[in-house]
């Protein structure tokens, strides 16, 4: 196996991940004398201006979902007002617990939660998923005596489910999706056994933006007496409003009796500051298996609803403020703009003969090619300032449409640049493709250990001074 791409990539990674090695304050140990606050603030402003330029003009897939300066200023002011709060100390900061209870209630109402439904605020989609899987593991152990738990997920379900499987010793069954990129109901049914504790469906899944057949899957889970989790981390705060606007959205929430939990990220299309998500359960009995309590510790009674002990209450305050300031009308306006922009991009992709859409998504547009190296196309787009997501199995690229892309001219510029990128790759098929070989190797079982090593190297670089 040729590893030259890896050797060439390491210095590229170091350059890309560590752009501030020269000309900026840098410390490998605590300075003997503290820096002035003015110098620190100047440094922060300089860093902000450099990075803000990358996403402000709408060339980044996902990442920043709102980005309007007035919204940022408002949320930042709310954060500053509550910067010292910590929901671990509910007696000292009851405002934070008020915010979190109302965030959960508002999210549940949006997702048609029945009476008795409940949930918690977490630090993000991954924690929401981890919490739900830990909950099902403990629920199945106590109520069914299952000591070797297993879960069933489509191959397109988020990698956080694999993390949960690894952390909590749950055997994962990944089931290939159909040609339409939706979960295969018959194949998932066949994978159920006596140790199955939960099934997963996405609304939508991250790679291609396609909504799984949640209605059929959740009913299957209900019939078998197992849990069903809808991963709405990406679409949970967008699909309800798209549906209200009259677009066809298949059912995915608590209106389906088999859905026993849902995760939805407030810090994506909820437009809250980064670091908040919600996990919801159909009833309190299930949520109790998420909680941690300690009654015999010398330090006193200890309990926490999520994985963290101390948590930044300011993030919950900012989340609450974002939700109530936008209101239904604000969410509907945003959803309308996003769906219309995504439609323009989908139409533009359809007009490029060398590309084809991966299914027919509502707001996340993925495309692949039978005639070109799509990763070379992505590399060409990167050179034009776009930051897109590469996918594999099959090789594809996606753009997750946010409010940044709804700015005038952004969708049109994307399609113009994409057409040029395709033409360039068509004329230069042997041009270096950057990350292309890495994604290609990740599709080969024998080579995955090498990609695994590279990913660990990537994370090591992140912590280099």
User: Poorest-confidence range of 11-25, 147-161, 387-401, 418-432?
Assistant: 11-25
Q: What domains lie within the chain, and their CATH numbers?
A: 80-322 (3.40.640.10)
Mean pLDDT of 370-380: 95
Indicate whether 9 pLDDT > 90. no
pLDDT digits (tens, 9 = 90+) for 112-169: 999 999 999 999 999 999 999 999 999 999 999 999 999 999 999 999 999 999 999 9
- d(C-alpha 403, C-alpha 138), whole Å: 39
User: What secondary structure does DSSP assign to 322-338, as a single string?
Assistant: HHHHHHHHHHHHHHHHH
Distance (Å, whole) CA 27 – CA 31? 7
Q: Is 219 helix (H, G, I), strand (E, B) or coil?
A: helix
Start-to-end CA distance of the chain, whole Å, equals 32
Q: What mean pLDDT is predicted for residues 392-413?
A: 96
Average pLDDT, the chain: 94
Q: Which of 52-61, 89-98, 112-121, 424-433 has the lowest mean pLDDT?
A: 424-433
Distance CA(265)–CA(239), nearest Å, equals: 12
- pLDDT tens profile 312-360: 999 999 999 999 999 999 999 999 999 999 999 999 999 999 999 999 9
Sort strands 171-175 and 150-154 into parallel, antiparallel or unpaired.
parallel
SS3 249: coil
Name, in order, each residue with C-beta under 8 angstroms of 178's C-beta and a sequence gap of 6 or more.
184
| 436 — pLDDT class (breaks 50, 70, 90) | low
Q: Cβ(281)–Cβ(135) under 8 Å?
A: yes
From 269, 234, 40, select the one nearest 126 (Cα to Cα): 234
Share of the chain above pLDDT 70, in %: 95
Q: How confident is the model at residue 452 (pLDDT cuts 50, 70, 90)?
A: confident
**Average pLDDT estimate for 71-96:** 97
Q: Are strands 356-357 and 227-232 parallel, antiparallel or unpaired?
A: unpaired
Residue 445 clears pLDDT 90, i.e. is over it: no
73 by Cβ neighbours in 10 Å (0-12 / 13-18 / 19+) ranks as exposed
- Number of residues that make up the chain: 465
Peptide bond before 204: cis, by omega within 30 degrees of 0? Answer: yes
Pairing of strands 302-304, 356-357: unpaired
Closest CA to 322 of 9, 11, 77: 77
Q: What is the predicted pLDDT for the residue at 312?
A: 97
């Amino acid at each position: 196996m040729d590893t030259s791409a890896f050797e060439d990539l390491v210095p590229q990674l170091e350059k890309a991940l560590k752009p501030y090695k020269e000309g900026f304050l840098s410390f490998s140990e605590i300075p003997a004398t503290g820096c002035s606050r003015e110098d620190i603030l100047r440094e922060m402003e300089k860093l902000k201006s450099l990075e803000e330029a990358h996403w402000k003009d709408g060339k980044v897939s996902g990442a920043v979902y709102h980005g309007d300066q007035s919204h940022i200023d408002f949320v930042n002011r709310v954060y500053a007002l509550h910067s010292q709060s910590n929901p671990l100390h509910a007696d000292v900061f009851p405002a934070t617990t008020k915010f979190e209870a109302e965030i959960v209630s508002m999210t549940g109402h949006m997702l048609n939660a029945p009476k008795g439904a409940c949930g918690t605020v977490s630090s993000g989609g991954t924690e929401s998923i981890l919490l739900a899987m830990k909950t099902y593991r403990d629920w199945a152990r106590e109520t069914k005596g299952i000591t070797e738990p297993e879960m069933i997920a489509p191959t397109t379900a988020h990698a956080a489910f694999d993390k949960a499987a690894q952390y909590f010793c749950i055997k994962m069954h990944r089931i290939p999706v159909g040609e339409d990129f939706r979960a295969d109901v018959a194949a998932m049914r066949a994978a159920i056994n006596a140790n199955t504790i939960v099934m997963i469906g996405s609304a939508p899944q991250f790679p291609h933006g396609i909504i799984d057949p949640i209605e059929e899957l959740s009913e299957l889970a209900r019939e078998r007496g197992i849990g069903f989790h809808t991963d709405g981390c990406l679409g949970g705060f967008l699909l309800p409003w798209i549906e209200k606007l009259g677009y066809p959205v298949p059912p995915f929430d608590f209106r389906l009796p088999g859905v026993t939990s849902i995760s939805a990220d407030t810090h994506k299309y909820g437009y809250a500051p980064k670091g908040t998500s919600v996990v919801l359960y159909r009833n309190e009995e299930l949520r109790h298996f998420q909680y941690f309590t300690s009654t015999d510790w010398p330090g006193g009674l200890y309990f926490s609803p999520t994985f963290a002990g101390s948590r930044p209450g300011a993030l919950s305050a900012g989340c609450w403020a974002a939700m109530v300031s936008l209101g239904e009308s604000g969410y509907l306006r945003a959803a309308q703009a996003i769906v219309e922009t995504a439609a323009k991009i989908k139409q533009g992709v359809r007009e490029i003969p060398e590309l084809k859409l991966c299914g027919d998504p509502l707001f996340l547009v993925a495309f692949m090619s039978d005639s070109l190296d799509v990763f070379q196309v992505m590399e060409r787009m990167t050179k034009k300032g776009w930051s897109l997501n590469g996918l594999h199995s099959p090789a594809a690229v996606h753009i997750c449409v946010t409010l940044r892309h709804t700015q005038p001219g952004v969708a049109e510029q994307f399609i113009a640049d994409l057409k040029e990128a395709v033409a360039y790759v068509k004329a230069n098929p042997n041009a270096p493709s950057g990350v292309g070989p890495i994604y290609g190797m990740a599709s080969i079982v024998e080579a995955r250990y090498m990609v695994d090593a590279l990913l660990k190297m990537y994370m090591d670089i992140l912590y280099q001074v």
